[in-house]
Structure 1
Amino acid sequence: MNGELRETFTNFIYQAKRNAKGEIDGILFVIYDVTDQVLAKQRMEQALRARDEFLSIASHKLKTPLTSIQLQTQMAKRNIEKNRETAFEPARVVKLIDQTDHSLRRLTRLVDDMLDISRITTGKLTFHRETLDLLALVREVVGNLLTNAIRYGEGSPIKISVKNQADRAVLIVQDAGPGIAQENQDRIFERFERATPASSISGLGLGLSISREIVNRHSGTLFLKSSPGAGASFLVDLPLNATDMP
């Protein structure tokens, strides 16, 4: 196709070709192009692997704050049952409450991410448009992009910039990390996907998917510019005027 090489998959059947005397004088081949079916199967298998990996990660991430809360409450209970005076010291009580609150907020963020992606998938996430400050609009998106840069940037400096281009705002979050290969650049915006193995990076793999959906719902685009060894730049392009939104 236009001189472009592409990978194809075929299946075939064959049978002997006989002449009028019943003698074999050739072989008949029928070849079928099964590329679409094979690629569809590969995509399905990849989606299933990503789902199973996500479930494994999610169960661990949800269990961690729950375990922390459980240990804190068990310790407090033992101290109270033994009538230890230190159990009621204001400083100790405040510390326990702070630790529990931290674990609960962490748990809430994880659950909120999962609920958001579930609503997006089922079409139940609704948006009510209104005039608001750009910072308020992109707060969650910027938070997700910064978290992503911190996780994958390998400690490299992170640069944030905003430009005004023809009634549109372009926000750029850039790191100087290892970069992302071309073949992974579309995939990382899918649910549960990561640019690196899950064992080495925290998180559920939902942030970029949620961020792109938020930006898309506001008539914007979120895209990536990167190459291996050259860092990664995530660009958010949003209209500044409500009239630019359909």
Structure 2
Amino acid sequence: MILRKPAQPQSRHAMAPTDLGSFTIFGKGTSLRWQLALMTAAMVTIAVGAMTTVTYWTMSTSLAASVDQNLDEKASLLMQRTLDPLYVVNLNSEVQRFKTYHPDIRISVSPPAWSFFYGDSIPVGGDFTPTGVGEETSVRTVGNDRILTKRNSMGTTVVLAQNMDSTQKLVGALGAVLLVISGLGILLAIAVGMVVATAGLRPLGRLQRAVDYVAQTDDLKPIEVIGNDELAQLTTSFNEMLGALQESRVRQTRLVADAGHELKTPLTSMRTNIELLMDVYRMGKLGEMSKEDLDDLEHDVLAQMEELSALIGDLVDLAREEAPEHDMEPVELDEVLEHALDRVRRRRPDVQFQFHADPWIVEGERAALERAIMNLFDNAGKWSPVGETVRISLKAARRKAVLLVDDSGPGIPPEQRERIFERFYRTDEARAMPGSGLGLSITKQVLDRHGATIDVEESDDGGARFRVVFSGRPGYDGSDSDSGSDDGHTASDLRGELFAERWIRDNVESP
């Protein structure tokens, strides 16, 4: 049952549902309160209707069966009486006596060996069914009469007919009473449904007011949770969403503040140098500056422009990583490492790089992985002294691969190792170095998205060691291996895998 409101002209804005207490069904806006009430009424109507139908059918069937049983008992008694010769001799008076005691029943009797019936004129016939030893019974309805005919093997036949007007009136009265009760039940169900819907939707209305308050005031304070039902769980989920929004807002505010602070430093230096150059030019003293001073000024401006450009690029990369995820595809990690290393070598020609990588395949985005790994390599090259070596290795086993990046720099104090992946965080030593403090944050974000873990340790020569653990699969194809092995690998391959798994256990899974 659907309550349809008459169509009314509405503005486009008014047609948009804004009330949490209503939603759209079949293009017509119907109050959720009314829908719950009508749904309750419909279910009660179905239940009451089914109960009324069953009750009516049961009562009418029971009354008809009671009439049949009464007639059958009387017919059996009369058949026994016909065996008495005195009863047959006085059949006329016996029939009149029966009608005196049962005025609503007509009777017709044919004793044994009689060829005619004595009593009322009642049609004999119908489908006979065996009901006892040598007895047959027929029950049928003719007009308003219920006719029962019983005969036996000795030729005795008794026919009784009872008028059903009183029974039908009783059944009709019962049906009317049941119909009135059903109507009252439906009305009561609608009223109860409205009360239940109003009480049940009260927490939803409170949630709606809280949503309106958030929309109007931009205040993300949590909503009070009452009870532990489904609406309370909905409120808890809504509070979690508000918390996530608040955290996102805080991160955004911090990002804008930190980005503004970081951008202000190179811009201020550039402005100072450019204003100095303009003042010298206006005073006509540009020719009086030495070539060394001009070269220093030019070097400072170019360095500040490069720093500003790198910072903007890092911010763009960070925003790109916070965008919706891209489609993942198989990526050959060893090739990504090699390509990123080639780019870093061109940027850090004064540092040596020692590189080895086992073939390994991961599911991910190639460009993002290369950008993250290049930041990791560039960081190691930046902190390694001139002429020192950055050691890079990718060791693969059956289920995990470990990337180790060791530099020869001063290392990272243990108390600062967790914070170096925060945005714009820079250690005291790092503040004197060029950079924005976003490279490792971008790396961490990309690796987390690809299901990899990254940790910071101390390298063998006191520098920093970055350990990255990737999931995936080996990049080799085992189809050309010795066919004598059950899984397609030679004995040497199996020994190598066992060694690699032990190496993973010792170097990855151990704290």
- TM range, normalised to the smaller chain? 0.5 to 0.7
2:291 is matched with which residue?
Answer: 90
State the one-letter code of the partner of 1:112: G
- The answer to whether structure 1 residue 210 and structure 2 residue 442 are counterparts is yes
- The answer to whether structure 1 residue 49 and structure 2 residue 282 are counterparts is no
Identity among equivalent positions (%) equals: 21
Which of 403, 407, 413 is the matching residue for 1:177?
413
CA 1:123/1:82 → structure 2, altered by over 3 Å: closer, same or farther?
A: same
Larger CA Rg, structure 1 vs 2? 2
Q: What is the alpha-carbon distance in structure 1 between the residues aligned to residue 272 and residue 455 of structure 2?
A: 42
**Would you say the 8 A contact 2:396–2:474 is kept in 1?**
no
Which of 9, 31, 40 is the matching residue for 2:241?
40
Q: Quote the offset at 1:236 in angstroms.
A: 2.2
**Would you say the 8 A contact 1:162–1:169 is kept in 2?**
no
Greater RCO, 1 or 2 (C-alpha within 8 Å, sep 6+): 1
**Would you say the 8 A contact 1:86–1:92 is kept in 2?**
no
**Would you say the 8 A contact 2:392–2:406 is kept in 1?**
no
Give the structure-2-normalised TM-score.
0.31
Q: What is the alpha-carbon distance in structure 2 between the residues aligned to residue 194 and residue 215 of structure 1?
A: 18
Q: What is the alpha-carbon distance in structure 2 between the residues aligned to residue 55 and residue 67 of structure 1?
A: 18
**Which structure has more helix as a fraction of its residues?**
2
**Would you say the 8 A contact 1:162–1:171 is kept in 2?**
yes
How many pairs are equivalent? 198
- The answer to whether structure 1 residue 143 and structure 2 residue 343 are counterparts is no
Q: Quote the offset at 1:222 in angstroms.
A: 3.7
State the one-letter code of the partner of 1:51: Q
Q: Quote the offset at 1:11 in angstroms.
A: 1.9
Which 5+ residue runs of structure 1 have no aligned equivalent?
1-8, 14-28, 150-159, 227-231
Q: What is the alpha-carbon distance in structure 2 between the residues aligned to residue 69 and residue 85 of structure 1?
A: 18
- 1:12-51 mapped onto 2 (5 Å cutoff): 12=226, 32-33=232-233, 34-51=235-252
State the one-letter code of the partner of 2:256: L
Task: Report SS of the residue matched to 1:171.
Answer: strand
Which of 449, 456, 468 is the matching residue for 1:236?
468
CA 1:176/1:101 → structure 2, altered by over 3 Å: closer, same or farther?
A: closer
Q: What is the alpha-carbon distance in structure 2 between the residues aligned to residue 117 and residue 189 of structure 1?
A: 13
**Would you say the 8 A contact 1:65–1:106 is kept in 2?**
yes
Q: What is the alpha-carbon distance in structure 2 between the residues aligned to residue 193 and residue 144 of structure 1?
A: 14
- 1:72-221 mapped onto 2 (5 Å cutoff): 72-84=273-285, 87-122=288-323, 131=335, 133=338, 135-136=341-342, 138-144=373-379, 162-166=392-396, 168-172=401-405, 175-179=411-415, 192=423, 206-212=438-444, 215=447, 221=452
Q: What is the alpha-carbon distance in structure 2 between the residues aligned to residue 144 and residue 125 of structure 1?
A: 26
| Cα shift readout 1:165-191 (whole Å, capped 9, x = no counterpart) | 23645224695524369xxx6x9868x
**Would you say the 8 A contact 1:80–1:87 is kept in 2?**
no
Which 5+ residue runs of structure 2 have no aligned equivalent?
1-222, 343-369, 384-389, 458-463, 478-511
Give the structure-1-normalised TM-score.
0.57
CA 1:141/1:240 → structure 2, altered by over 3 Å: closer, same or farther?
A: farther
| Cα shift readout 1:11-45 (whole Å, capped 9, x = no counterpart) | 226xxxxxxxxxxxxxxx97934443333322221
**Would you say the 8 A contact 1:223–1:235 is kept in 2?**
yes
CA 1:220/1:162 → structure 2, altered by over 3 Å: closer, same or farther?
A: farther
Q: What is the alpha-carbon distance in structure 2 between the residues aligned to residue 224 and residue 37 of structure 1?
A: 34
**Would you say the 8 A contact 1:189–1:212 is kept in 2?**
yes
